[in-house]
Structure formats: C-alpha cells, structure tokens
Amino acid sequence: STMFLVGLSGGIASGKSTVVAVLRELGCAVIDADVIARQVVQPHSKAHQQILQHFGTEILLENGEINREALGNIIFSQPEKRRLLNSITHPEILKEMLKQVLKYFVLGYRYVILDIPLLFETRGLTRFMKYTVLVYCDPPTQLARLMKRNGLGTAEAQARIGSQLPLDEKRKWATHVIDNSGDRESTRRQVLRLHARLEDSLDFLWARLALGTAVAGLGGLVFLLVRHFVS
C-alpha cells in the first residue's frame, strides 16, 4: 500500500474546524496538532516543566494545567516569548505526530491529513507534504467572524489576525484552497471534491515499507526530524 501526507491549515476564524469536521465525516485520518499540543504540556510532562521554568507559575490553573489563555496573551504581545514556547513544544509535538502517522500507515489509509495551524508560518514542515490545503476566507469575513466568536472589539481582533501570516499570503503557497467565505454547504461541496481528487491520486510520499522496518526506523526518523526543525 502507499500513503501520502496532506498539510491542512488556515487562519484564525477562517473556518478550518468546519472543514476538518467534514473530513472526519468522510472517514479521513486527521492528526490535529492543536490537540497534540495540549497533550504534550500536561502536568508532569517534559514540556510542562520547561514552560514553568521560563514563564513562571502564574500561568497555571488551580488543577496544575497551563492556562492557555494566559499563556496566549503573553506570546501574542512578545514574539521572543512565542519563539521560546515553540522551541519547547514543537519537538514533542513532532514526535507524537510521527507516531500517529505510523499508526495510520499500518492501518492502510490512503492519505493522512496533518491539521497544523502554523503550517505556512514555519514552512519547514511543508516539504514533507505531498499537498497543502488552505482554508481561506476573505479578510472582512474573517474579522467579523473573530469578533463575533470571541467577543472582541475591532482593534483587538485585528491585532490577533495581524499576528499571523495573512491568508492571501498563505494562499500563494497552498496547492489547494477551500474558500470558506460563503455558507457551510458551499464549503462542504469543495471538501467533497478535494477528497475525491486525493483518493484518486497516484502520488505518494512514503515508499512501501515492511512493518518491521518502519518500527525499527522510527527512533532514527524522529531524531533526524526533531534535530532538523529545532535547528
């Protein structure tokens, strides 16, 4: 069997979760980097301890978990803190993602979707993707949705959008674009067309591997990828 990787990204309030929901309904394998990011910073984990060393206990909730909103407020306003946090969490996230990719390979999936919010910002991960998909919406719609969803004022919402690479810029790098500016049914039809194209694709990223070889090589692969992204 063959399998390839598809990178999926978007922008804040662009509607990526809507697209992911449709893909899951279709039975697609989706690896959510945000979910993994929450898992790797659970209390007593390596990343959790490192974050406390650099950001202090003020970012903790009563149950010992990290207050994502408090931490988010820090990194939104201080780019150097954002880079520091990424250097702590990204290697741990990558290791867990690789484990899940191997699981889906063994299960015989045609392709695996890696849902990565900062796929186009980091750029390093795109080289491992056969295709990249951007969930796009026009800037006025993005701003209105964010203000409504988070209860933000115009200035605060614009600041949050401005902290990310503009969707129009990301669009240049994507091999496929899902335009989520319209209604849900329009978005769903686009996702169905994309899924059909990917299922029919003869391209693949991963060569045929025996299960034993894949398992044996996982440790070395993790080390090489982590070293690459950290550097």
212-229 residue pLDDT tens: 334 344 444 444 443 443
Instruction: Please tell me the predicted confidence (pLDDT) of residue 212.
Output: 34
Task: Please report whether residue 34 resides in a domain.
Answer: no
Task: Please report whether residue 35 resides in a domain.
Answer: no
**Token pair 């780019």: residue:** 79
Residues 130, 181 share a domain:
yes
Task: Please report whether residue 53 resides in a domain.
Answer: yes
Task: Please report whether residue 170 resides in a domain.
Answer: yes
Instruction: Please tell me the predicted confidence (pLDDT) of residue 156.
Output: 94
Residues 117, 5 share a domain:
yes
* Residue 222 identity: V
Burial letters 33-47, b for 16+ CB under 10 A, else e: beebbeebbeeeeeb
Task: Please report whether residue 102 resides in a domain.
Answer: yes
Q: What are the Cα distances from residue 190, in Å, to 18, 143, 159?
A: 12, 22, 30
Using pLDDT thresholds of 50, 70 and 90, give the confidence band for residue 202.
low
Query: Does 144 score more than 70 pLDDT?
Result: yes
Task: Please report whether residue 88 resides in a domain.
Answer: yes
pLDDT, tens digit, for every residue of 21-61?
Answer: 999 999 999 999 999 999 999 999 999 999 999 999 999 99
Residues 188, 127 share a domain:
yes
Residues 148, 91 share a domain:
no
Query: Does 125 score more than 90 pLDDT?
Result: no
How many DSSP H helices and E strands does the chain contain? Answer: 11, 5
Task: Please report whether residue 92 resides in a domain.
Answer: yes
Residues 190, 213 share a domain:
no
Residues 174, 61 share a domain:
no
Question: Which of 50, 75, 108 delimits the end of a domain?
Answer: 108
Average model confidence (pLDDT) across the chain: 87
State which residues form the domain around 80. Answer: 40-108
Residues 168, 69 share a domain:
no
